[in-house]
Amino acid sequence: MVMIRVLMDPLVIAAISTAFAIIITIVDSIVNNYGDVEIDINNGKKVLKVKGGSPLLQTLASQGIFVASACGGRGTCGACKVKVLSDVGPYLPTEMPHMSSEDISKNVRLACQVKVKSGIKIELPEELFNIKKYKGVVESLKNVTYDIKELRIKLIEPNEISFKAGQYVQIVIPPYGDIKEHTQRAYSISSVPSDKNHVELLIRLVPNGIVTTYVHNYMKEGDEAELVGPFGEFYMRDTNADMVMVAGGSGMAPIKSIIFDMYERNITNRRVWFFFGARSLRDLYYVELFRDLEKKWPNFHFVPALSDPKPEDNWSGEVGLITNVLDKYLDSMIPKDNVKEGYLCGSPGMISGCIQVFNKYNIKDVYFDKF
Amino acid sequence: MKLTPEYASAQESMKPGKITAEGFLGDDDRNIVDIITADEEEFAHLNLDFSEIAKLLRQLLREGAKGLGNVVTFEKWEITVDEARGNIPCPFKDGMFSKRVATIKNLNNSKQIMISDLSVHLLEKHHFLQGKGSIFRLEPSIIKAVLYE
């Protein structure tokens, strides 16, 4: 009798556990099944029928509408702001750090944090409808410095992209090593818009970075690649102002695209100064490329500066922090006879330092990506 | 201290590939409560104060950031701050931090530590110095040597 109980008890417990698991699964599917819901975009201009329950960002992406998201939906970049006209509940703590009082007054929300549980009305800029997902193949992957790679992707499906020089794309990388999910991050395009079949990116290795580690240590030529884009408001403004551009590290990417696009399109009447800051010679790259352009375009001036050149660098160019070099040029070397615009791409510290210098010279039209 | 659901959730987020490629735990097989408890005991033993250290580390981050990526000498320290664009969330879900990393070297003894805005927050608010083997692990004895010798 005791033997039978010893054998039966585990079976009874297993059966009860299984029954509980089935009940939980059924209850979960009922409670969290939101069924089909409608997303009304721009007051009926586009109406999507979707399965409810997922974040708005992913739901829109599943329908081919890609809202910018530099962090891939983790709520850390604050890029996926969308005006929501329906009541979708109070703001989440994850949204608040990204919201200004104006955002809140307009009921702007982070699309990655808002779940689509019922019918919802939203407003989206029309240009978002032109953003696509691209499949391609890694055509080349080269070191341009010890910690920056130039990644060139040949587009396959669709095989052409249309973008403004200076815009960015999000690269989607597959799971690898301990990374169990697809991850995406935003990178500026360094190629020119006329090269419609390719996208070139400059990617600096960030310690412990999920995507940069993949690109530097796992990706290889011939691999499939996935991109979403183009996004961004960083591009050449159509004015006659002189352009003062400053970059550091992989911030070279959008500036390179803008400068070579201008040259290709014969917009060479504008005066352009491009300041590139690096620590020592090993951090400098594309110098010959820009020196060659200077010879062909008299209004273009390239000013690389090293802040900490090594003796073996034999550096005879500008020395100092890029903000100091910029200050020196604006003070005495750049003609003051025309209005100026600032274009910046680099670390947040470099951007805020350059803005201070621009303020000193009353340069108010300053453009940079906020991600 | 108990591994509450909040700590368990934070520990899950600290695994490789969740927030960062390598995570926050290194090759340490202790749970985060055990790591925190051991480091709090070590701090007490070394007569270190979490708030004071966080305040000093933030000051050194600020001074180092003035170098825009270059080495800055401030008092007895040599500081280099590198910045990447974007933000990183705290695994305890109580803040978002810029991706700014500083290497701080004490010129008296050449000992150095690597910190970030997030690792200073983790030290101050959660007494979490990361698992042994993590690249951002802050060993209490090394902190003391770098900051106070």
Task: State the average pLDDT for chain B.
Answer: 94
Average pLDDT over residues A229-248: 95
B84 contact residues in A (CB cutoff 8 A) = 204, 206, 209, 347
What does the pLDDT read at residue B96?
A: 85
Task: State the average pLDDT for chain A.
Answer: 90
What does the pLDDT read at residue A364?
A: 94
Mean pLDDT is lowest, of A84-93, A131-140, A244-253, for A84-93
Rg (chain A; Cα; Å): 26
SS3 of residue A357 by DSSP: helix
* B8 near A CB under 8 A: no
B95 contact residues in A (CB cutoff 8 A) = 97
B22 contact residues in A (CB cutoff 8 A) = 178, 208
| Pairing assessment for the beta strands A300-306 and A318-319 based on DSSP bridges | parallel
The neighbour count for residue B109, using CB atoms within 10 Å, is: 11
Task: Compare all CA atoms of chain B with the CA of A69 and give the residue at the minimum distance.
Answer: B86
Beta carbons of A108 and A84 less than 8 angstroms apart: yes
Peptide bond into A193 cis (omega under 30): no
What does the pLDDT read at residue A130?
A: 82
Mean pLDDT is lowest, of A19-28, A33-42, A268-277, A344-353, for A19-28
**Helical axes B50-65 vs B140-148, angle rounded to 10°:** 60
What does the pLDDT read at residue B10?
A: 93
Q: Under an 8 A CB cutoff, do A206 and B88 touch?
A: no
What does the pLDDT read at residue A126?
A: 81
Query: Above 80 in pLDDT, residue A371?
Result: no
What does the pLDDT read at residue B18?
A: 85
Query: In this prediction, what percent of chain A has a pLDDT beyond 70?
Result: 91
Residue A348 pLDDT level (bands cut at 50, 70, 90): confident
Residues 87-116 of B with CB under 8 A from A: 87-89, 93, 95-96, 98-101
A349 contact residues in B (CB cutoff 8 A) = 65, 68-69, 81, 83, 100
Task: Compare all CA atoms of chain B with the CA of A71 and give the residue at the minimum distance.
Answer: B86
Q: Under an 8 A CB cutoff, do B65 and A349 touch?
A: yes
Q: Under an 8 A CB cutoff, do B93 and A94 touch?
A: yes
Average pLDDT over residues B108-126: 97
Query: Could you give the CA distance from residue B42 to residue B86 in angstroms, rounded to a whole number?
Result: 34
Buried b / exposed e along A219-245 (16+ C-beta atoms within 10 A)? beeeeebbbbbbbbebbbeeeeebbbb
Query: Could you give the CA distance from residue A249 to residue B100 in angstroms, rounded to a whole number?
Result: 15
The residue that leads in pLDDT, A371 or A125, is A125
- How far out from the chain centre does Cα B93 lie? 16
Beta carbons of A43 and A126 less than 8 angstroms apart: no
Q: Under an 8 A CB cutoff, do B86 and A323 touch?
A: no
What does the pLDDT read at residue B69?
A: 86
Beta carbons of B140 and B50 less than 8 angstroms apart: no
Mean pLDDT is lowest, of A57-71, A202-216, A221-235, A307-321, for A57-71
Residue A12 pLDDT level (bands cut at 50, 70, 90): low
Q: Under an 8 A CB cutoff, do B86 and A180 touch?
A: no
Beta carbons of A213 and B52 less than 8 angstroms apart: no
Query: Could you give the CA distance from residue A351 to residue B83 in angstroms, rounded to a whole number?
Result: 11
- Nearest-Cα distance to chain A for B81, in Å, is 10
Q: Under an 8 A CB cutoff, do B21 and A209 touch?
A: yes
Q: What is the pLDDT of residues A152-206, one digit of tens each?
A: 999 999 999 999 999 999 999 999 988 888 888 899 999 999 999 999 999 999 8
SS3 of residue A312 by DSSP: helix
CB pairs under 8 A between A and B: 89
Overall size of chain B counted in residues = 149
SS3 of residue A341 by DSSP: strand
Instruction: List CB contacts of A206: < 8 A, sequence separation 6 or more.
Output: A212, A213, B84, B99
Q: What is the pLDDT of residues B46-104, one digit of tens each?
A: 999 999 999 999 999 999 999 988 899 999 999 999 988 778 889 998 888 988 999 99
Q: Maximum Cα–Cα distance for chain B, whole Å?
A: 44
Q: Under an 8 A CB cutoff, do B89 and A323 touch?
A: no
What does the pLDDT read at residue A74?
A: 77
φ/ψ region of B3 (left if φ > 0, alpha if ψ in -120 to 50, else beta) reads: beta
Query: Above 80 in pLDDT, residue A370?
Result: no
- Amino acid letter, A154: K
The neighbour count for residue B58, using CB atoms within 10 Å, is: 15
Instruction: List CB contacts of A181: < 8 A, sequence separation 6 or more.
Output: A175, B17
B93 contact residues in A (CB cutoff 8 A) = 93-94
Q: What is the tally of helices (H) and strands (E) in chain B?
A: 5, 4
Q: Under an 8 A CB cutoff, do A347 and B71 touch?
A: no
CA distances from A180 to A133, A176, B7, B135 (A): 21, 7, 22, 21
- Amino acid letter, A32: N
ipTM computed for the complex: 0.77
